[in-house]
Structure 1
Amino acid sequence: MPLAVRAAVLDEPGTPLRVEELTLAEPKEGEVLVRIQAAGVCHTDLHYLAGDLTCATPIVPGHEGAGIVEQVGPGVTRVRPGDHVVLMWRPRCGNCAYCSTGRPALCESARIQIATNGLLDGTTRLRRGAEDVHHLLGASCFAERCVVAEQSVVPVPADIPPRIAALVGCAVVTGVGSVLNVVTGAAGSSVLVVGAGGVGLSSVIGARLVGAGQIIVADVVPQRLELAARLGATHTIDTREVDLVDAVHDICADGVDWALEAVGRARTIEQSFAALRKGGAVVAIGLGRVGATFEVPINQLVQQEKRLIGSLYGSANTVTDIPKLLELYRAGRLPLDELLGPAYPLSKVNDACQALLDGAVGRVVLDLDLDHDEEA
């Protein structure tokens, strides 16, 4: 039987989200129904809300979520009702050329979800009266419940706090993963992290985990820089006050070995490139608006052997990397509790998005239990 669920709906880019009741169909073959406990608010969501990234509307945003499986469709074998899971906004089919060669973040099946704003069969399980409502990145977890493909969930231990589990599904696996899976020879090296949001701070945690010698963090919010220092940054740069490149060269005369750009802006990518030493590399992990470009000096690229690397979703094998990251958290090796920022109920989703825009410290999270507390 279809369920009535409360969800945040985007009708048009540039307009506020509306929390309203939708109809959610039962999971079909290979799909699962998840009751959402927590959902992180990511800048990627804001890109879709603003129209910087395009999607079909109406649509339910949210791609960084965690919850409990309530129902499974025919053919589902990896999870069962009662399992705690993290959502993945890039499914892992396990069969395509990318999955087969160890690059599941580029899995071909994601193209269907992106092109149709539906699930893996290209259709939606959400309706508003007679109108179809679309799924963002196959997840749509700004809602009480969602139906997702089995390939879009990872089982996790039940004792992991939901807010932590949600963060690991996007910000943490992207930031920590970019260090573990892309940065090589990091022990003792110099690492610049540009942007101290959820992904950038996760990169700081990753750089500390692997023993980077100097961890330099740049941002425009002093409180974020203070948190970065607590998480392992050896130097911080407030780019409202000083030039990023000059400040980096004051710390490392020859420049840094690695720069992780977590903002997704042309200017900061160009600055990250300029801050490299010879043979250094920029790892771009922040998404920008559709069509955005940047410039780099060709002769520096060639004569100084600088490199530019893109990394999607931490270049991770999420099915195995997410459980490993949670085990590191349980062992006290990843201080993920420090990443948690303000929490909001689903009913205050627009306030949560505004908090992120205003420079909230730590990851802004929707906590669905807060809605139950309000109702009580």
Structure 2
Amino acid sequence: MKTRTAVLHTQPGQYEVTEVDLDEPRRGELLVRMVAVGLCHTDDHVAVGDSPAFRLPIAGGHEGAGVVVGVGPDTPGWAEGDHVVLTFTAVCGECRMCSTGRQNLCDLGGRLFSGGRIDDPTSFRMTYQGRPVVQAHGVSALSEHTVVDARSAVRIDPDVPLERAALVSCGVATGWGSVVHMSDAQPGDVVIVMGVGGVGINSVQAARAIGARAVIAVDPVELKRKTALDLGATHTAETIEQGTALARSMTDGQGADATVVTVGVVTGEHIAQAVDSVRKAGTVVLTGTGGMRSAGIPINPTMFTVFQKRLQGALFGGCNPRWDVPNLLRQYAAGTLKLDELVTRTYSLDEVAEGYADMRAGTNVRGLVLLD
């Protein structure tokens, strides 16, 4: 079948809506009609060249939700009409990481970089003018229709609005889990969130939910600081230096118990500033990325050791998609997690490039593409 999708043809470049040929679903695959897709910085890293494009063209998007409209042969447990959230971390359920409760680090993840089928990286589901089209993270959510491996989909309650469920596909789960799963933050702690865009704003929500006595939202953009106050921050600051001073004023000069780094384009300097912001035995959770070509963190290794600080990487906030995605949506249904307030503006598929430009300009907390 034919479908329209947002394709990156050159790097650096911008996503252009392109009609491509899409295979019918094979064994273990689902044909999904996409309904809503969040605009996440990860896809933009590839467009601007922060992260390498291993192969072009690339059909982008990884944060989305839709409805199953086709099920491949010999694919038990799935049916047309199922509502699904796509996950950029496929889950096999059998490898060491999955078996020890770390589905976000499933061994299948490494295969998704090929942009082809998980079990056959030389086989592609999309083509354009006879050329293979790479599916970003194995899903290419920014499409009217897409075919995905069933291991990259999570079935959800059909009563949950898909335009809200899409947000849990990446940004909400990543930000939430960075605090709940990765930071060791406890009730009564002081937590800094460094960068409160589409991911960090959910770290703010999580810090509030666990009972942190102070949640300091750091961002140079006034819109994001205001939104953070609305969603649980107790204090805001324009710079990490100001945020660190606030944390120290509350802790006898010690610093924050945990700092979560969710800056859109992370540098080594950002990480060093975050390390400086936490107390002895404090934790820095590194969730944002800065592109695969960046390297080096200007921290003093002796001071890092003697103050026994911890720098913790976090992919998908350490979440397990099969559990955390439905659980977060249950919290939304119960009114304990806010999703409606996250979306600053909605776009059509044809406005994808504009949406990413708005994200870079800081005018959005989260932009959302609606396809239905």
- Structure 2 length as normaliser, TM-score? 0.95
Please tell me whether residue 239 in structure 1 is matched to residue 239 in structure 2: yes
Per-residue deviation, residues 325-376 of structure 1 (Å, max 9, x unmatched): 000000000011111121000011111111101102321111113xxxxxxx
Task: Name the structure 1 match of 2:93.
Answer: 94
Match of 1:287 among 286, 289, 310: 289
Greater Cα offset, 23-32 or 73-82:
73-82
Q: Which amino acid aligns with 2:59?
A: V
Aligned length: 365
Is 1:362 the counterpart of 2:365? The answer is: yes
Q: Structure 2 CA distance, aligned partners of 1:287 and 1:119?
A: 25
Which letter maps to 1:154?
V
Query: Is 1:344 aligned to residue 347 of structure 2?
Result: yes
| Pair 1:274 & 2:276 matched | yes
CA distance in 2, matches of 1:185, 1:355: 33
The aligned amino acid for 1:354 is: A
What residue in structure 1 maps to residue 6 of structure 2? 8
SS at match of 2:34: strand
In 2, are the aligned partners of 1:37 and 1:368 still within 8 Å (CA)?
Answer: yes
CA distance in 2 between partners of 1:247 and 1:260 (Å): 16
SS of equivalent residue, structure 2 residue 50: coil
Contact 1:244-1:271 within 8 A present in 2 as well? no
Other structure's SS at 2:158 match:
coil
Give the match for residue 257 of structure 2: 257
Letter in 2 for 1:351: E
Could you say which residue in structure 1 is the equivalent of 2:133? Answer: 133
1:308 to 308, 311, 328: 311
- Mapped contact 1:38–1:365 kept (Cα < 8 A): yes
Give the drift of 1:276: 0.6
Distance in structure 2 (CA, Å) of the matches to 1:188 and 1:79: 44
Pairs within 5 Å for 1:55-70: 55=53, 56-70=55-69
Question: Is residue 118–residue 136 contact of structure 1 (8 Å, CA) maintained in 2?
Answer: no
Measure, in 2, the Cα distance between the counterparts of 1:125 and 1:282. 39
TM-score where L is the length of structure 1: 0.94
The 2-side partners of 1:51 and 1:93 are apart by 31
Secondary structure of 2:5's counterpart equals strand
Residue 174 (structure 1) aligns with: 174
| Displacement of 1:239 | 2.0
Q: 2:52 maps to which residue? A: 54
Letter in 2 for 1:51: G
Deviation at 1:183, TM superposition (A): 2.5
Shift of the 247–185 alpha-carbon distance from structure 1 to 2, 3 Å rule, reads closer
Q: Is the 8 A contact 1:6 1:19 kept in 2?
A: yes
Query: For 1:318, which of 321, 330, 335 is the aligned residue?
Result: 321
Identity over aligned residues, as a percent? 38
**In structure 2, what is the Cα distance between the partners aligned to 1:311 and 1:16?**
27
- Three-state SS of the structure 2 residue aligned to 1:76 is coil
One-letter identity of the residue aligned with 1:147: V
Q: Which amino acid aligns with 1:77?
A: P
Q: Does 1:332 align with 2:335?
A: yes
Task: State the secondary structure of the residue aligned to 2:303.
Answer: helix
Specify every segment of 5 or more residues in structure 1 that has no aligned partner in the other structure, as ranges: 370-376
- Cα separation, 1, equivalents of 2:51 and 2:24: 29
Letter in 1 for 2:236: T
- Structure 2 Cα separation of the partners of residues 235 and 338 of structure 1: 19
